[in-house]
């Protein structure tokens, strides 16, 4: 089994590197790092082919997901370094909103949560996965274990229903202020 896996990986290495390079927007060093981390995931047992798709499809998915993880880590590190640099240079401004703005944000959050609670379960799930978990619709379909068409339909219906609920809430709020 291990020999067969090694042979698969060896035969796909050039294609895998090309895919990693594509996922890293042409950055050679990042692509090498992503591919190495993907190999480490496989070697440590954190990722194993399930047999649901071809080995190449599965392997390219692991590489894509690893590249996405690396991009998020890089973006997080850059944001921390940027904040530190601004603090050191004296240009740092407190990112917290003013108390009045925070109260407005809290009220909007409560309205959004109340509107989300009124949505059917599937619509609320897909909106949560897409907006809060930053998944694509196809990734949300895999997580929810439903078809992509079904997820698209729940997504569109959920957005439309949420929009109408929030507009109704805004008009109710304006009527209270009059």
Asked whether the predicted pLDDT for residue 168 surpasses 70, the reply is yes
| Residue 128 and residue 104 share a domain | yes
Rounded-to-integer distance, Cα 175 and Cα 85, Å: 47
Q: Are residues 137 and 59 in the same domain?
A: no
Chosen domain end from 89, 123, 146? 89
Q: Is residue 94 part of a domain?
A: no
User: Band of the pLDDT at 1, cuts 50, 70, 90?
Assistant: low
pLDDT attached to residue 135: 78
pLDDT digits (tens, 9 = 90+) for 142-161: 878 899 999 999 999 999 99
Assess whether 103 and 68 both reside in one domain.
no
Instruction: Say whether pLDDT at 5 is over 90.
Output: no
Answer whether residue 151 is part of any domain.
yes
pLDDT(84) > 70: no
Q: Which domain holds residue 79?
A: 2-89
* Domain count within the chain: 2
Mean pLDDT score across all residues of the chain: 81
Query: Residue 24's closest CA among 53, 142, 16?
Result: 16
């Amino acid at each position: 089994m291990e020999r067969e896996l090694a042979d698969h990986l060896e035969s796909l290495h050039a294609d895998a590197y090309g895919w990693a390079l594509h996922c890293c927007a042409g950055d050679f060093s990042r692509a090498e790092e992503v591919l190495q981390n993907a190999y480490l995931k496989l070697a440590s047992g954190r990722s194993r082919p399930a047999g649901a798709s071809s080995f190449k499809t599965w392997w390219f998915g692991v590489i894509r997901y690893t590249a996405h993880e690396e991009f998020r880590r890089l973006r997080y590190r850059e944001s921390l370094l940027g904040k530190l640099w601004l603090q050191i240079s004296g240009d740092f401004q407190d990112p917290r909103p003013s108390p009045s703005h925070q109260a407005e944000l809290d009220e909007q959050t409560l309205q959004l949560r109340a509107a989300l609670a009124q949505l059917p379960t599937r619509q609320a799930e897909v909106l949560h996965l897409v907006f809060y978990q930053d998944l694509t619709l196809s990734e949300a379909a895999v997580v929810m274990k439903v078809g992509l068409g079904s997820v698209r339909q729940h997504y569109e219906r959920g957005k439309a229903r949420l929009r109408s609920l929030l507009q109704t809430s805004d008009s109710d709020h304006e009527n209270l202020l009059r």
